[in-house]
Amino acid sequence: MRRGESFEIECWTYLTNKYGSDLLNFKHHDTSDSTESDIEVVIKGRSKFFIEAKDSQAQSGQFVLMPDEENRVFIFSSLNKSESNTITDIIIEYMNLNFDKFNNAGTAGESINLDSRFFDKWIVGYYKNKGVRFVISKHKNMVILPIEKFAEYFNISATYRIKKSGSGDPAKKDINKLIAILSNRFGVSSRDINIVDKKVFVNINDGIDNNRFCEGKYTYYLSKTEINNTYRLKRLSNTRNMTVIFSIEIMLDQQPEDLEFFESVLLAESSKNFI
């Protein structure tokens, strides 16, 4: 399990244990789908808002820029799941003035030395568009903050570099072949494998030593879920794009008024009468 996913489950467990009830539930989402946020707040069976889990050091959003070498400019890629906006335009304008440096950024990357307030505005807008109202992180202890106060809690930087895309579900046409590999490699039977909406879940009671294997041109891995002994099969992407990546580092402990605000929102939403 990757560190970020482990931390998401830690946050989900913390919220569930501290605030969960028969009426108030926290649902952990698989974040290989960047269109969804990490933790959904469900009150009386209705989705209310999302909480984004961010480790003490983490990435916090990204977008792909394609270099147009003939015209010496960077172009906001159609591959992006976010939309271009004023902040992306400011970043592109800055990078265009230093085209050669950024065009040769490679895997090491080049820092984007703009005022971090621009980065904060992009991050806040990005997560608000995904329905996020709060962020949960960890300094000395767990920290919960309104998304609008992101810059008060985190140092933010941005880099342009080559980035390999994330993971996703295996192709439907490959599932039978992959099930045979799982059976041979981990000794599981058909009753240990459950397929739900293209997601492949595997129950392995004895645990696993190596969760990765190659098949064809792809690498696959088993990602541990919050359910004991249950793993989800994922396929790593082979795509490599030049990407603006926002990185963050927490710098502030929990401010009491922000925790009180979070708890007041939970109370207010739980007290509403739904028809």
| Averaged pLDDT score across all residues of the chain | 88
Proportion of the chain above pLDDT 70, given as a percent: 91
Task: Please indicate, yes or no, whether residues 211 and 259 belong to a single structural domain of this protein.
Answer: no
Task: Please indicate, yes or no, whether residues 31 and 136 belong to a single structural domain of this protein.
Answer: yes
Task: Please indicate, yes or no, whether residues 56 and 119 belong to a single structural domain of this protein.
Answer: yes
pLDDT at residue 2 greater than cutoff 70: no
Task: Please indicate, yes or no, whether residues 195 and 227 belong to a single structural domain of this protein.
Answer: yes
The pTM is what? Answer: 0.77
pLDDT at residue 167 greater than cutoff 80: no
pLDDT at residue 115 greater than cutoff 80: yes
Task: Please indicate, yes or no, whether residues 116 and 102 belong to a single structural domain of this protein.
Answer: no
User: Of 123, 147, 103, 163, nearest to 247 (Cα)?
Assistant: 123
Task: Please indicate, yes or no, whether residues 80 and 195 belong to a single structural domain of this protein.
Answer: no
Task: Please indicate, yes or no, whether residues 102 and 232 belong to a single structural domain of this protein.
Answer: no
pLDDT at residue 157 greater than cutoff 80: yes
> Which of 90-99, 157-166, 255-264 comes out lowest in average pLDDT?
157-166
Give CA torsion, residues 38, 107, 75, 236, to 10 deg.
Answer: -40
Question: By residue range, what is the domain housing residue 26?
Answer: 3-60+112-162+242-271
> Which of 9-18, 36-45, 149-158, 178-187 comes out lowest in average pLDDT?
178-187
> Which of 10-14, 70-74, 157-161, 163-167 comes out lowest in average pLDDT?
163-167
Query: Is the CB of residue 259 less than 8 Å from the CB of residue 144?
Result: yes
Whole-angstrom distance, CA of residue 153 vs CA of residue 188: 45
What is the predicted pLDDT for the residue at 204?
Answer: 83
Q: What is the DSSP string of the chain?
A: --HHHHHHHHHHHHHHHHH--SSEEEEEPPTTSTTS-SEEEEETTEEEEEEEE--SEEEEEEEEEEEETTTTEEEE-TT-SSPP-HHHHHHHHHHHTTHHHHHT-TTT-EE--S-HHHHHHHHHHHHHTTTEEEEEEESSSEEEEEGGGHHHHEEEEEEEEEEE--EEPPPGGGHHHHHHHHHHHH---GGGEEEETTEEEEE-TT--S--EEEETTEEEEEEE-SSTTEEEEEEE---EEEEEEEEEEE--PPPHHHHHHHHHHHHHHHHPPP-
Task: Please indicate, yes or no, whether residues 224 and 181 belong to a single structural domain of this protein.
Answer: yes
Last residue of a domain, one of 79, 110, 141: 110
What is the predicted pLDDT for the residue at 274?
Answer: 57
> Which of residues 70 and 271 earns the better pLDDT score?
70
Last residue of a domain, one of 74, 94, 110: 110
Task: Please indicate, yes or no, whether residues 116 and 143 belong to a single structural domain of this protein.
Answer: yes
Whole-angstrom distance, CA of residue 117 vs CA of residue 151: 8
Task: Please indicate, yes or no, whether residues 203 and 91 belong to a single structural domain of this protein.
Answer: no
| Structural domains of the chain, count | 3
Whole-angstrom distance, CA of residue 273 vs CA of residue 268: 10
Q: What is the pLDDT confidence band of residue 212, given thresholds at 50, 70 and 90?
A: confident
Task: Please indicate, yes or no, whether residues 45 and 122 belong to a single structural domain of this protein.
Answer: yes
- pLDDT tens-digit readout, 124-137: 999 999 999 999 99
Task: Please indicate, yes or no, whether residues 175 and 219 belong to a single structural domain of this protein.
Answer: yes
